[in-house]
């Protein structure tokens, strides 16, 4: 297996944190990094001890769930809670930060933002980042690269497809399963 870059490594950590999300609308993870070391992490979810969206549903006001604290904010608050300065650090996040998180990122002194996916990229947030000189970089991330069993799974699926072909499974079914295999394995 090929060694991943630091950027890919930290994006992988964000993806792992997102699995802890209690939001039913979008799972997001974030890490604050200094000198290639994670100093804080967060995911979007409810306040500690509060009701979770996965249990009680979203509490939506003006098309926004007000029950949820965003991943970026949770990571920055973790820095504050434990007395770890965020200034001069980088922030990695699975999705482009919302406007409110962007302002918090700026105020915390984050120097660079890496994100995985575009998500309602706010023009004013982009303008603010440019104005204060924070570099924002999209790091495309494919979680399939973290599947250490990918090669054996891929081999099994293609052997099954060959067996289906020999068993005279309809061309439509074979094409449907082949297309799905290509989606899963990126081939």
Q: Say which of 72, 123, 135, 171 is annotated catalytic.
A: 72
User: Would you call 21 exposed, middle or buried from its count of C-beta atoms within 10 A (0-12, 13-18, 19+)?
Assistant: buried
Q: Which of 95, 177, 179, 164 is nearest to 136 (CA)?
A: 95
135 carries an active-site annotation: no
Query: How far is the C-alpha of 35 from the C-alpha of 96, rounded, in Å?
Result: 22
Query: How far is the C-alpha of 36 from the C-alpha of 156, rounded, in Å?
Result: 37
Query: How far is the C-alpha of 159 from the C-alpha of 178, rounded, in Å?
Result: 11
Catalytic residue positions, numbered? 72
């Amino acid at each position: 297996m090929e060694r991943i870059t630091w950027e890919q490594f930290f994006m992988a950590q964000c993806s792992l944190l997102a699995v802890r999300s209690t939001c039913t609308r979008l799972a997001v993870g974030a890490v604050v990094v200094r000198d290639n070391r994670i100093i804080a992490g967060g995911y979007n979810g409810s306040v500690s001890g509060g009701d979770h969206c996965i249990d009680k549903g979203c509490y939506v006001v003006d098309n926004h769930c007000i029950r949820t604290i965003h991943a970026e904010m949770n990571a920055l608050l973790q820095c504050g809670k434990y007395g770890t300065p965020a200034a001069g650090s980088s922030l990695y996040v699975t999705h482009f930060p919302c406007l409110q998180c962007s302002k918090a990122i700026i105020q915390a002194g984050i120097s660079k933002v890496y994100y995985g996916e575009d998500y309602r990229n706010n023009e004013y947030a982009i303008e603010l980042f440019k104005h204060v000189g924070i570099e924002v970089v999209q790091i495309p991330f494919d979680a399939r690269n973290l599947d250490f069993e990918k090669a054996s799974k891929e081999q099994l699926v293609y052997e099954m497809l060959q067996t289906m072909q020999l068993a005279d499974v309809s061309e439509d079914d074979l094409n449907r399963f082949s297309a799905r295999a290509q989606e899963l394995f990126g081939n």
